[in-house]
Amino acid sequence: MSMPSIRQRFAKNLLKRPDMTGIGKSAFRSKGYTFPSHSQMNQFSKFGIVYDVDPGIRDLVIDINHAGYSTGGSCQGHIKGQSGFITINLNKREIPHKILVGLNQYFTEFGYSKKPANVQEIKEILKKHGLIFIKYVPPCFTKDSKGSVRLHHAFLFRPVIDKMMERK
C-alpha cells in the first residue's frame, strides 16, 4: 500500500476533529499553503497535535511537546500588530484540587502536560527558534478583571513572518 500524499494525510487528520466545522475557510485551502512534512506530521501524531499548526511555528510546537509540555492553541501572528502565541496545558500538580475535580473532563479532553510549566525553559525553547519573547500570561482559576478564566499558560512572541504573509 502506498503512502498517502501530504495533502491527503493532512485532510484526513483534520476531518477527525469535531471542531473543524469551518474547514472550508481555513488557511490551508489557500493557494501556496505550506503543508507540514511527513516527518512533522509523524511528530504531531506522536504528541497528539492536530496537523494545522501554522507553518512558521511547527518545529517550535514539536520541541515544546518533546520537552514534556502539552500544547493547546497557537498562532504565529497573522494580523498586523498581533503577537504570536503558544499555550501550554496545565500539569495536574498546578491545578487546585477543588478545581481539578470540577474540570476533570475538560483536562482529560485537552491533555495534561507531563510536568509543571517552567517559564525559563519555555523561553529558552522560543529563543532556540529565533523567536522574541514578549510576555508570559499565567493560568487564572478565578475570573480576572476581564471575566476570563485561563486554564493554560500563554507565551506571547513577536510574529513569525512567512512567505504567505509577505504576499498579503
The CB-side HSE value for 152 (13 A sphere, CA atoms) comes to: 20
- φ, ψ of residue 15 to 5 degrees: the values are -70, -20
Read off the pLDDT of each residue in 51-63 and give the average, rounded to a whole number. 93
- The pLDDT assigned to 7 comes to 79
pLDDT surpassing 80 at residue 31: no
**Which strands, in side-by-side order, build the sheet including 133-137?**
71-75, 84-89, 152-157, 133-137
- The pLDDT assigned to 157 comes to 96
DSSP alpha helices (H): ranges in the chain? 6-15, 38-47, 58-66, 97-102, 104-110, 119-128, 163-167
Most confident of 71-85, 105-119, 123-137: 123-137
Q: Residue 72 and residue 120: Cα distance in Å, rounded?
A: 19
Confidence of residue 138 (pLDDT cuts 50, 70, 90): very high
| Grid cell locating 126 | 522560543
Query: Please, are residues 4 and 41 in contact by the beta-carbon 8 Å criterion?
Result: no
